[in-house]
Amino acid sequence: MEEKGLIQVYTGDGKGKTTASIGQAIRAKGHKFKVCFVYFFKNPKDFPYGEVELLKGLGIEVVNFVPQHPHFYKNITAEQIREKCLKAIESIKEIFQKGYDMLILDEILITIRDGFLKEEEILDLLEKKPESLEIILTGRGATKKIIERADLVTEMKKIKHPFHQGVKERRGIEY
């Protein structure tokens, strides 16, 4: 892909952010783009996400950072999470050097929302992105500055979600 890569944001409290980013990754791969899918705060050991092996099978690089969120793993501290997030940022800078056309950073916005990283740390990362790289950031709570920096912002707005009727995560739907 020779064109300029843009910055996309999928945010909001409704379902569809991660699944939209998976769809975007697959569409790009269909045109032989070199795609890397990075995801935060998800532990495939506890929830075997249906998409992970499939994306790998399509030739998409899949990378997992900071699998444990303290909301679900009580013995990990916010300081430990921040350290892991900072390391992840350094690793993403290395990923920038690998010639990808598209990079998905799934749930990265949660690092700001939950105070593990400062918005400036993500903005600084975006400054370092290669010109031709398309980046997709997902997660609830995109900040004003992130929205200003992005070229495309979609808000998934919850109208209804079965979780609020007591329906637990469903295999093949939520993971």
Q: By the criterion CB under 6 A, which residues form the site for ligand ATP?
A: 13-19, 107, 140, 156, 158, 161, 163, 169, 174
Rounded Cα gap, residues 95 and 100, in angstroms? 8
Distance CA 107, CA 96 (A): 18
154 binds, among Mg ion, ligand ATP, none (CB under 5 to 8 A by kind): none
Q: By beta-carbon distance, which residue lies closest to Mg ion?
A: 18
Residue 13 or 120: the one with the smaller Cβ distance to Mg ion is: 13
Residue closer to Mg ion by CB (options 32, 47) is 47
CA neighbor of 84 nearest in space, from 40, 125, 127: 40
Cα separation of 88 and 38, whole Å? 10
Which of the listed partners (Mg ion, ligand ATP, none) does 8 bind, with a CB threshold of 5 to 8 Å by partner kind? none
Q: Where do the H-state alpha helices sit in the chain?
A: 17-30, 50-57, 78-96, 109-113, 119-127, 144-149
Cβ nearer to ligand ATP, comparing 99 with 162: 162
Element spanning 19, H or E:
helix 17-30
Residue 174 interface partner, choices ligand ATP, Mg ion, none, CB cut-off 5-8 Å depending on type: ligand ATP
For residues 45 and 173, give the distance between their C-alpha atoms in angstroms, rounded to a whole number. 17
Min dist. Cβ of residue 107 to ligand ATP (A): 6
16 binds, among ligand ATP, Mg ion, none (CB under 5 to 8 A by kind): ligand ATP
- The pairing of beta strand 35-40 with beta strand 134-138: unpaired
Specify the residue, 14 or 67, whose C-beta has the smaller distance to ligand ATP: 14
Contacts with Mg ion, residue ranges (CB under 5 A): 17-18
